[in-house]
Structure 1
Amino acid sequence: MRQTIRQKSLPLNREKWRQIVEVAEAYSRQKDAFLVEYAQVKSLKDLGYKRRIRDERVAAGFVSPFGLQARQWKLALEDALWTLERQWEAAIAEVRDRLHRNGGLTPKERDYAFWLLDKFGDRPRDWRKIEAIFRDEDLAGKKTELEPAGRKKVRHGLKRLFRRVLGKRPRVRKAQSFVVDQQMYRVFMVGNRQYVAVMGLSPGKRIVIPLSGIHKRGAICGWFCCRTNRRWKFT
């Protein structure tokens, strides 16, 4: 069982603070750019193929315009795609809840609406069905009994519901965090002090952060900035 640890750094000097803030700002700007790019309805089908999207960018020689190293922009991409997927899943759950309370649908209309919205078993969601709602594409399952005109009516109704519940698309408003994986940091001891060396923007160089305590277990999955006293918290 993985243990989650929340720990603060000691106050950082100006240079280390500057380097950490640079990473947070570059990561946030790159994540925000990905959020804008993949927030379009045409990108919905890509949410189920996050690794493929990453591999296509690698094959195309993508370089972060904000100075992130390759492993860093890959995490920013994954972070952005998961953020968008969580927003869509929350919206789908809200639309389903409203459909349950809607007594104006016929049984066939209800069956078709839930066929468009539901996942089946442990299989990934078929995002093409959600995209079809917005593009008014006439998708139907093998067991769909509703006629084309009725399917069109249902898709239009679902589209209106989604527009009400989706709200604003997610954006990164403050550069106060970034994500690292186990290849991007190293925890070590010097005397009685524990340190973590984390990847910065310069290849081959790590930012060494003194920690306020000692923990023997747990893995870092993210960093969180506290700008008031030049301390960092991580989990």
Structure 2
Amino acid sequence: MSTVIKNIKQYSLPLSEDAIKDLIYLATEYRNFKNYLYSRFSGIKSIHLLKNPRKNVRDKWIKSGERKKFKLPARYWKIALDEVFSDIRGNWTSTKKKIKYAITRNDNLTREDIHYIRYILSSDELYYKTLNQIEFDIPDKFKEIKLNFKYLNNLIRRYTRKYKNKIPYTKKNNIFSVDTGLYRYENGNIKITTLNKGKRVSIPLKDSNKYKTTLKIKIVDDRIEVHVPLKISPKDLNGDIVVGIDKGINHIIATSTENLYGGRLNEYLTDETERLNYINSNRNRFYAMYKTALENNDVKKAENILNNNLGKKKYNHRKNRNDEKMKSYINHSINEFILKEKPKEIVMEDLTFANWNSKFPKNIKRKLSRWTKGYIRERIEYKCELYNIKYTYINPAYTSKVCSICSSFGKRNGASFICSNCGETHADTNAAKNILSRKDDKEISLYTKYTKVKMILESRISNHNS
């Protein structure tokens, strides 16, 4: 039976300044090493190393002695190496997905052209040679087909330059991972190996649970959180309906069954956005005063402003508290939706290549630039895996702009959708119904251009009226 990873947390009691200092030092070196790996292996010359980083990188470093120049102990840098290569593989998967999307929308490519590009993308070795302009034998299946290989290989390189993600970089110096050889539980404490040889930091925990897996340690103020990934078996709701959902700002989820969940999302986003704007405007004012004091050589005043008005501890604490509150509300709303509707399949928009902000008025685009939209998607996918629910993505073009009853184009006015034929209905549930019907649409695939989608919809309206 397949399993799902569920993350739980352990919380510590307050720690001493020395303990926090040792952990921050470790987390900083861990971050620096990861950033070094990101910069070294995120380029096109390292693609062929991604499949087996332990053999291609780790073992070679150990054999050559290169590992000796790292400040991190071996167990730490090996964990960091695995994490970094996992991230880099994910970035390349994202890049390939965007290229596949682009070639399906390129009217100048034949089916054979698209097949060739997809084949190259599926092989790390061929993709590596193509990007680095290294000659290779044309695969047998394409030798009998007259293709312009030079043009197609150049196109792959051009698309890669266009869609390749930026080199990852993290500024966070409060997170690191430990495997089972780097910690042990003892008398209600977890003892973690630090960079001080032979020394472990003893951290008192609020519970007495013990785990044996790779843990993620997060330092929050004068405490730590222990993030524990546990493998669990998925639950089965025995659902029997297919539900279309629209993810919005007024509600987290609107369904094709005309139900709404998470109606306070906009309130949470507004309150937090206004709070941060107020705080940041004040911080900007104090920062200007701080710079002026330095320019006037008034070091004492500058230090007072820095220590009393520009500290990050309280700022980050309040921001994290509000983020956790919002996450809790999002999870509660998604759980409520799943347990009430009991779907066997959820159909939703694939907004990977679309600008979600374009769905909403300008005054709330700023709110959606936060982490919220990605978090909602990630949590819905996770809950689907947890409850053994199938999820399907569809082309989002015009799902919020046509009537779910007669398929005519209409107008959105706030929470209402107005159709000249059918009158007024709720905008989000109307979109959810269109999303559900798009699932079985034979003409509109996930990759159909939005301009072609509009032509198809207009043609249907014309045929219906005639």
With the shorter chain as reference, the TM-score category is 0.7 to 0.9
Structure 2 regions of 5+ residues with no counterpart?
A: 228-466
Instruction: Identify the residue that residue 123 of structure 1 maps to in structure 2.
Output: none
For 1:177 and 1:51, locate their aligned partners in 2 and report how far apart those are by CA, in whole Å. 23
Contact map agreement 1:136 1:152 (CA 8 A) in 2: no
TM-superposition CA deviations, 1:142-189 (whole Å, max 9, x none):
1114447x1111111122222222131111222221111111111122
Question: Is 1:225 matched up with 2:229?
Answer: no
Q: Secondary structure in 1 aligned to 2:116?
A: helix
C-alpha displacement of 1:39:
1.8
Q: Distance in 2 between matches of 1:128 and 1:100?
A: 23
Identify the residue that residue 106 of structure 1 maps to in structure 2: 110
Q: Is the 8 A contact 1:185 1:198 kept in 2?
A: yes
Shift in Å, 1:9:
1.4
Q: 1:36 aligns with which of 35, 39, 64?
A: 39
Taking the TM superposition and a 5 Å limit, the aligned residue runs for 1:141-180 are 141-145=139-143, 146-147=145-146, 150-180=148-178
- Which whole-Å deviations, capped at 9, do the CAs of 1:181-205 have from their partners, x for residues lacking one? 111111122xxxx210111112322
Checking the alignment, whether the CA contact within 8 Å between 2:95 and 2:165 is kept in structure 1 is no
Instruction: Answer whether contact 1:10 1:210 (CA < 8 A) is retained.
Output: yes
Task: Kindly indicate whether structure 1 or structure 2 has the higher relative contact order, using CA contacts under 8 Å at least 6 residues apart.
Answer: 1
How has the CA–CA distance of structure 1 residues 70 and 216 changed in structure 2, closer, same or farther, with 3 Å as cutoff? closer
| Contact residue 30 and residue 64 of structure 1 kept, 8 A | no
Letter in 2 for 1:90: S
Q: 1:86/1:157 Cα in 2 relative to 1: closer, same or farther (>3 Å)? A: same
With over 3 angstroms needed to count, the CA separation of the structure-2 counterparts of 1:218 and 1:71, relative to structure 1, is closer
Change (3 A) 1:9 1:218: same
CA separation in 2, counterparts of 1:188 and 1:74?
25
**Is the contact made by 1:177 and 1:224 (CA closer than 8 Å) also made in structure 2?**
yes
List per-residue Cα deviations over 1:111-148 (Å, max 9, x = no partner).
21111112xxxxxxx32222123223344211114447
Paired residues of 2:180 and 2:212 also in contact (CA < 8 A): no
Q: Spell out, residue by residue over 1:59-115, the C-alpha distance to the aligned partner (whole angstroms, 9 max, x if none).
A: 112345452111111112222211111111111112112222323211221121111
Query: What is the CA–CA distance in structure 1 between the aligned matches of 2:210 and 2:195, rounded to whole Å?
Result: 27
Q: Which residue of the partner structure matches residue 409 of structure 2?
A: none
Aligned residues of 1:138 and 1:151 also touching (Cα < 8 A): no
CA distance in 1, matches of 2:171, 2:192: 24
Residue 77 of structure 1: aligned partner: 81
Cα distance in 2 for partners of 1:45, 1:203 equals 36
Which structure: larger Rg?
2
Q: State the alpha-carbon separation in 1 of the partners of residues 110 and 6 from structure 2.
A: 49
Q: Distance in 2 between matches of 1:96 and 1:64?
A: 42
- Look up the equivalent residue of 2:128 and give its one-letter code: E
Shift of 1:221: 2.2
Rounded to whole Å, the distance in 2 between the matches of 1:26 and 1:65 is 13
Give the CA deviation at 1:230.
1.3
- Separation (CA, whole Å) in 2 of partners of 1:206 and 1:216: 17
- Cα RMSD (Å) of the superposition? 2.0
Q: How far apart, CA to CA, are the structure 1 residues paired with 2:199 and 2:170?
A: 27
SS in 1 for 2:109: coil
Normalising by structure 2, we get a TM-score of: 0.45
Corresponding residue for 2:191? 197
Contact kept? 2:185, 2:210, Cα under 8 Å: no
In 1: Cα distance, 2:169 partner to 2:226 partner? 22
Q: 1:47 aligns with which of 46, 50, 67?
A: 50
Give, as a single letter, the amino acid of the residue that structure 2 aligns with 1:101: R
Aligned structure 1 segments of 4 or more residues deviating by more than 3 angstroms: 1-4, 63-66, 145-148, 216-220
Secondary structure of 1:187 counterpart: strand
2:202 is aligned with what amino acid?
A: V
TM-score by length of 1: 0.85
Moved more, 39-48 or 213-222: 213-222
| CA positional deviation for 1:41 | 1.5
Q: What residue identity is the alignment partner of 1:153? A: Y
Cα distance in 2, alignment partners of residues 221 and 133 from structure 1: 39
Q: Which amino acid aligns with 2:50?
A: L
2:14 counterpart residue number: 11
1:167 match: secondary structure: coil
Match of 1:122?
none
